[in-house]
Structure 1
Amino acid sequence: MRSNAAKYESTSVSLKAGSKEIHLLMSNGIADMEVEPGVTEAEGARVWASSSRAVTALKLAYLGWAYQGFAVQDNTDNTVEARLFEALLKTRLIQDRQSSNYHRCGRTDKGVSAFSQVITIDLRSSQFCGGLGVTLPENLDLGTKSKASTSELPYVKMLNRVLPQDIRILDWAAAEQGFSARFDCQSRTYRYYFPRGSLDVELMGNAAKRYEGTHDFRNLCKMDVGNGVLQFERTILSASVRPLQPQQVSSTEQYDLFVFEIKGLAFLYHQVRCMMAVLLLIGQKLEALEIINQLLDVEKTPRKPQYSMAVDYPLVLYDCHFDGLTWQQEAEEVSHVLSSLQRHWTQSAVKAQVLLGMIRGLEERGEEFCGLCLSAGLGTPRGSPGRARRSGWGEGSLGLPSEAYNFFRTPLSPRLEPALACRSGLVHFG
């Protein structure tokens, strides 16, 4: 149960963000998009006045690599959320964003993908006999009620027909009034994929366990005080590093893929990518396990080292768990989504093998091989005192020897307390 102060903080931040995003949608022409030319505003209002609405949870998957993030932004309309609202308006499932009671479970950054992002929103419904989360139109006549459909609109099919191929609706669920994808989420799970290379993955697994529990993560996130985030304590339920394939447990193959999986109640801005950056340093033996304890001890480490976080594209919001939702699938759409993902996988897997064939060819010729180069592109410690080890395909600075790098020699961020005190002076809990 959130405290009154925490509830106030969450609600005020949510209202501020929602107001800003509605303004951004309108400025980008999305909120006022004309869906059906020739339909007047008055006619549209009459249609909505006679329509039922239902609180609905939508589960969506998207490949975030081509987008500037999930949430709407003031400098671009190339976001997942912008495409989603275009589809909702085009299918006339909502009248506008302002009245849609929209909530998202999480906001992923530029380049980050999701398999189970969840939103809640009030959608047009075919239900005129009531039901979970259904609001009936005023002055509903008995004739309409007697002809009411027993099945809901095919939300998944309707939206997937107009969404881009890299954004897919997976399931929908009826929800009760007041249900929020943001505040009623029980846990969120992220996955970050990476190659073994020359990393000590066993050491990384031991390090990941130190994230578990309730800690102050201000040194392992981007501190977003300007947007009202004043509390940095979060609870991590589980954290692990494991091979993607069970048979790779005893393997030493440098090209084996591993995953850092972390499950928590909620996460801070850029938290997972900062945590992964530290794990990569530990895996390369540039830092000891104790670095995590130091970063979590904000009394001893009150100023965050200005290190770079891990890159975006390997990160996936893999699961958002909710109690009390019964997800509905549309079998035909599941088949379509699966086929689309299989096509994406085939193309990517074949391209990966083309690259691997070239690499193997060079290795067979006796070319010097640097396993650290496999993970060099996943993150770059800022302020490291030396040049990167180069490879033919790019460069990164994670391959520096331990004696050339020290985490706490990087520049330090200002202390957080003055900013918190300033913001707290503007917030009153009553």
Structure 2
Amino acid sequence: MSEALVRRIKELEADLETLRSQLKESSDAGADVELTSTSPRENTDCKSNTRASKKGKKAFKERPFDFQASPRRHAALRLAYLGWSYQGFAVQDNTDNTVEARLFEALLKTRLIPDRQSSNYHRCGRTDKGVSAFSQVITIDLRSTQFCGGLGVTVPDRVVGGAEDKVTAELPYVKMLNRVLPQDIRILDWSPVAEGFSARFDCQSRTYRYYFPRGSLDVALMTDAAKRYEGTYDFRNLCKMDVGNGVLQFERTILSASVKPVRPQLSDDQYDLFIFEIKGLGFLYHQVRCMMALLLLIGQKLEAPEIINQLLDVQSNPRKPQYSMAVDYPLVLYDCHFEGLSWTQEAEEGTHILAALQQHWTQSTIRTHVIHGMIQGLEARGGLSSNHCLLVEGSRQKNYRPLLERPCCESLESRIEHFVKRGRLEREEGENGGETLHRGKRSKHSHNPPGLPVLSEMPPSKQSIDQQAEDVLTGE
């Protein structure tokens, strides 16, 4: 190594030491300035103020909402939902993926109710897993701004000076809830109702729709058969007997039943859509899906229309033959009819709801036509379409066995004895030593008075429309 190179390295090392010394002096000077500008006491106070500020924010967030300072209003809410991704409408013990669970989350988040237990809540219908609704109705006590009173309004005892004389607009219930609900659950409108009004007991009728394609079905035969449902019958052979919940009386009234095309002008295309529409006072568990299953068997000409009359004759056929229900996703709770309600619509929200549904429709329709195009392409290549009905649960039987030749389910009497032994039903003697009555144990989600008898405890002649509308019976 040359002397010049060694000398140059030593010069660079010296320069490096000089720079390090200057940097250290600068750093020490900055620390002194910081220490002199902020005394230890001031620094402590600053930290204390910061902690106090954070504590104040935390305390503000945790401050409970004073519901006692606001009026409450008994109101009816009408909602629509697409039920395909939910486990049903009503809250369940084994899952929180229900429409009702999402609804109460929204009600609590918007501070419209303090809790479910004190909300005076009733539902009109109890749709099953996969079932949608266009006109589900609930009644509930909501927070209100109406200190001056009004229909269904309860004003608190302590009112801040002069508040009762102020006329203010009611809270925008529809807008508030739709801002926090999932996109597939929408509040349509609301109506003030009297304090004793119940969505469950004051409903005059419920209408269900079941959508299905023509396929190879004989729609004319199904139309004739549907009319046989109209009237008051014992539907124990066309439902799932919910004996464990105290449902022991299966007589129901069907006001109308029909099969009609979705569009008035149709060809003979197998992809044309039809609707089975049924209107009644109340429905049993899985009743509509069982009724539709029979219509599908009749449409395939596997059963004659008379099978409906035979299964409605419980004297001749007291036990239900084993058969599969129709699938859930085409079923919609289309309407719940009430008398005397004045529905309040919010125009802006109506536009938003319509836009959301149009978006769902656009996506679904495009997907439908993409699939339809593939089907047409395969048919053009010589593929043969299946004539099998795809709307019945379970696998298709290779050799069809008529319903009246099949094994039967347990009788009603056997089911009662089974649940009495398990403690799900209790025996009680009727008045004056009359017939034995059975009471079902109440669900923890029930909002009925403890003394309210189950439907099965009253003879059919004394059952009102309200009693027939018991929510455990408004399934599908």
TM over 0.5: yes
Paired residues for 1:28-427 under 5 Å: 38=59, 43-44=64-65, 47-149=66-168, 151-248=169-266, 251-370=267-386, 372-373=387-388, 376-380=389-393, 396-397=395-396, 404-420=400-416, 423=425, 425-427=437-439
TM-score (structure 1 length as normaliser)? 0.83
| Unpaired stretches in structure 1, ≥5 consecutive residues | 1-35, 383-395
* CA displacement 1:251-281 (0-9 Å, x = unmatched): 2110000010000011000000000000000
DSSP 3-state at the match of 1:59: strand
1:231 positional shift: 1.1
Q: In structure 1, what is the Cα distance between the partners aligned to 2:71 and 2:241?
A: 42
- The structure whose Rg is larger is 2
Percent identity over paired residues: 70
Aligned AA (2:170): E
1:126 positional shift: 0.8
DSSP 3-state at the match of 1:246: coil
Q: Given the superposition, is the C-alpha separation of residues 216 and 39 from structure 1 closer, same or farther in structure 2, using an over 3 Å criterion? A: farther
After superposing on structure 2, the runs of 4+ consecutive aligned residues of structure 1 that deviate more than 6 Å are: none
Q: In structure 1, what is the Cα distance between the partners aligned to 2:110 and 2:173?
A: 9
Structure 2 match to 1:12: none
Q: In structure 2, what is the Cα distance between the partners aligned to 1:254 and 1:85?
A: 42
Aligned AA (1:329): Q
| Unpaired stretches in structure 2, ≥5 consecutive residues | 1-56, 426-435, 440-452, 459-476
Would you say the 8 A contact 2:246–2:438 is kept in 1?
Answer: no
Q: In structure 2, what is the Cα distance between the partners aligned to 1:37 and 1:108?
A: 41
* CA displacement 1:179-204 (0-9 Å, x = unmatched): 00000000000000000000000100
Structure 2 match to 1:387: none
Would you say the 8 A contact 2:211–2:276 is kept in 1?
Answer: yes
Aligned AA (1:264): G
Aligned AA (1:57): A
Aligned AA (1:269): Y
Structure 1 match to 2:23: none
The number of aligned residues is 370
Question: Higher helix share goes to which structure?
Answer: 2
1:38 positional shift: 4.2
Q: In structure 1, what is the Cα distance between the partners aligned to 2:358 and 2:406?
A: 43
Aligned AA (2:183): Q
DSSP 3-state at the match of 1:317: strand
Would you say the 8 A contact 2:262–2:274 is kept in 1?
Answer: yes
Q: CA RMSD for the aligned pairs?
A: 1.9
Structure 2 match to 1:5: none
Q: In structure 2, what is the Cα distance between the partners aligned to 1:37 and 1:312?
A: 47
Q: In structure 1, what is the Cα distance between the partners aligned to 2:105 and 2:354?
A: 23
Q: In structure 1, what is the Cα distance between the partners aligned to 2:211 and 2:64?
A: 51
1:59 positional shift: 0.3
1:226 positional shift: 0.7
DSSP 3-state at the match of 1:293: helix
Aligned AA (1:183): F
Q: In structure 2, what is the Cα distance between the partners aligned to 1:148 and 1:39?
A: 29
Q: In structure 2, what is the Cα distance between the partners aligned to 1:37 and 1:188?
A: 48
Q: In structure 2, what is the Cα distance between the partners aligned to 1:222 and 1:419?
A: 12
1:49 positional shift: 1.0
DSSP 3-state at the match of 1:236: strand
Q: Given the superposition, is the C-alpha separation of residues 155 and 282 from structure 1 closer, same or farther in structure 2, using an over 3 Å criterion? A: same
1:414 positional shift: 1.0
